[in-house]
């Protein structure tokens, strides 16, 4: 029984990768740069997307977002409220987006019109790691409010992402978290090869650096 389950899981992941590749090609054919954001509920994914999109729109770029959640349209509404065009993407039960769901959202977007698409994954630090969606960059967002052990507890998501961001730097003292512990864990995990970027969406500190790291 266990072997059968493992086999099924393998097929699901293989099929997801196939669709992710086709999403990637579709986005590239349309000259679109795509950024996926992963992270826990409350890490600041939506706020970061809204902030980055604001900067990009000021540069004259056309930006759109896919708001992934299990249920509800809260994030899509927040995005639309900031002037960002957003498509809602509910998984129903699943705790992660998959490439097929993203494909269905891309079908609803007039890809001719956009330069950049943000994809906000469901708030979860575990299974999104296994399901690439076809983005140029997978970004993991954590915040100081989540404690100093996030990297030690969630190796996979950090190893499967291209860029890691530590948000809510402005309140690290108030929540009693030393950012250097988190940054040190990340350096250790990535063999000293990668740096976690720090920011505060609220004060806008570090936002420019993230834009430049993502080549936006
Ligand atoms: Mg959100
Ligand atoms: Zn999941």
- For the chain, the structural domain boundaries read 2-213
Helix (H, G, I), strand (E, B) or coil at 107: helix
CA of 211 to the centre of ligand 2 (A): 28
pLDDT at 2: 47
For the chain, 216 residues long, the average pLDDT of each consecutive 10-residue run is: 57 95 98 98 98 97 97 97 98 96 97 98 95 98 98 96 98 98 98 96 98 96
CA of 54 to the centre of ligand 2 (A): 30
CA of 123 to the centre of ligand 2 (A): 10
- The CATH number that domain 2-213 falls under is 3.40.50.300
Predicted TM-score (pTM) of this structure: 0.94
């Amino acid at each position: 029984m266990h072997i059968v389950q493992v086999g099924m899981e393998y097929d699901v992941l293989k099929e997801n990768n196939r669709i992710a590749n086709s999403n990637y090609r579709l986005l590239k054919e349309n000259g679109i740069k795509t950024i996926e954001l992963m992270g826990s509920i409350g890490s600041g994914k939506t706020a970061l997307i809204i902030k980055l999109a604001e900067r990009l729109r000021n540069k004259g770029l056309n930006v759109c977002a896919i708001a992934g959640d299990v249920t509800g349209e809260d994030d899509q509404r927040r995005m639309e409220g900031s002037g960002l065009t957003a498509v809602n993407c509910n998984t129903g039960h699943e705790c992660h987006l998959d490439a097929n769901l993203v494909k269905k959202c891309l079908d609803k977007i007039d890809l001719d019109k956009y330069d950049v698409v943000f994809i906000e994954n469901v708030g979860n630090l575990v299974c999104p790691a296994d399901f690439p969606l076809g983005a140029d960059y997978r970004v993991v967002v954590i915040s100081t409010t989540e404690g100093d052990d996030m990297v030690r507890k969630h190796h996979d998501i950090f190893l499967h992402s291209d860029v890691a961001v530590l948000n809510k730097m402005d309140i690290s003292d108030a929540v009693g978290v030393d950012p250097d512990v988190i940054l040190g864990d990340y350096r250790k995990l990535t063999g000293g090869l990668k740096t976690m970027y720090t920011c505060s969406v609220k004060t806008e500190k570090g936002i420019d650096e993230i834009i430049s790291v993502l080549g936006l």
